[in-house]
Amino acid sequence: SAVISQKPSRDICQRGTSLTIQCQVDSQVTMMFWYRQQPGQSLTLIATANQGSEATYESGFVIDKFPISRPNLTFSTLTVSNMSPEDSSIYLCSVEGEGKNIQYFGAGTRLSVL
Amino acid sequence: DAKTTQPTSMDCAEGRAANLPCNHSTISGNEYVYWYRQIHSQGPQYIIHGLKNNETNEMASLIITEDRKSSTLILPHATLRDTAVYYCIVRRGGLIQGAQKLVFGQGTRLTINP
């Protein structure tokens, strides 16, 4: 399985600011994904981060609010822009190697917006 | 992707086998059954997956009915550390664009009691 590191593990931010979350994997992976887990809820996919191309966003999520970078096969960032208290959630990165058919998750970033 | 139905919660005594059911009556021929669990405040952990044959690994066994419309995850000797939310997910295999995303339902909250 892949070892996934997310930074920061938690943060408290003021409304109107932005936070960039990093996801680092210990091996090259084809697919990287970003999920959101709102308090007491299940996980929802935000977008698929494609290396060398634009991220693919799910319905209800837009690039202006959640810009994503994927500069290489081991790293991705998710930015939560112009935050409001409704953005308080756990944000999780997951990865899947080509042909592996298994996704592995990072520990998540717990974000609180005041 | 096919929808899954799981009981909201279950209890099991420590040391006994925990059997978690999942219904996926609309599953199609190229869809796999995946199980993940999420221990409080952690990222989801992959447990096991299968297509139509029963599968076993060091964590659990997966029993899929012959018609593939339901499955059961078995934790053979549950411990207190197995207390978590367990997610049954149906997902297409292969490298089809969009096939890799995991759609999480509400899962089953399993409580292991001493």
Q: What tens digit of pLDDT does each residue of B48-93 get?
A: 999 998 999 999 999 999 999 999 999 999 999 999 999 999 987 6
| Cα–Cα distance, B33 to B67 (Å, whole number) | 13
Query: How far does Cα A93 stand from its chain's mean position?
Result: 4
- Alpha carbon distance B88, B21 (integer Å): 9
The Cα–Cα gap between B43 and B37 comes to 9
Residues B45, A48: C-beta atoms closer than 8 Å:
no
**Mind telling me how many Å the CA of B67 is from chain A's nearest CA?**
22
Mean pLDDT of the B43-48 span: 96
Q: Are B7 and B19 in contact (CB under 8 A)?
A: no
Q: What is the DSSP string of B60-74?
A: -EEEE-TTSSEEEEE
Cβ <8 Å between A108 and B45: no
CA distance B108 to chain A (A): 11
The reply to whether residue A98 touches residue B103, judged by beta carbons under 8 angstroms, is no
- Shortest distance between the Cα of A99 and any Cα of chain B, in A, equals 7
pLDDT, position A99: 66
In the three-class reduction of DSSP (H, G, I as helix; E, B as strand; rest coil), residue B38 is classed as strand
Q: How far is CA B99 from the centre of its chain?
A: 18
Average pLDDT value over all residues in chain A: 93
Q: Which of A103, A104, A111 to mutate to test the interface with B (most CBs of B within 10 A)?
A: A103
**Chain A residues with beta carbon closer than 8 angstroms to that of B107:** 42
Structure tokens at A71: 């500069």
Judging contacts by C-beta atoms under 8 Å, the chain A residues touching residue B45 are 105
pLDDT string in tens for chain A (114-residue length): 789 999 999 999 999 999 999 999 999 988 899 999 999 999 999 999 988 788 999 999 999 999 999 999 999 999 999 999 999 999 999 998 766 788 999 999 999 999
Nearest chain B residue to A106 by CA distance is B43
Instruction: Assess B76–A contact: CB distance below 8 Å, yes or no.
Output: no
Q: List the one residue out of B63, B81, B23, B55 whose CA is nearest residue A101.
A: B55
B97 has a pLDDT exceeding 70 = no
Who among A31, A102, A106 is closest to B43 (CB)? A106
Q: Answer whether B104 touches A (CB < 8 Å).
A: yes
Best of B102, B103, B106, B108 to substitute, by most chain A Cβ atoms within 10 angstroms, is B102
Among chain A residues, CA nearest to B91: A101
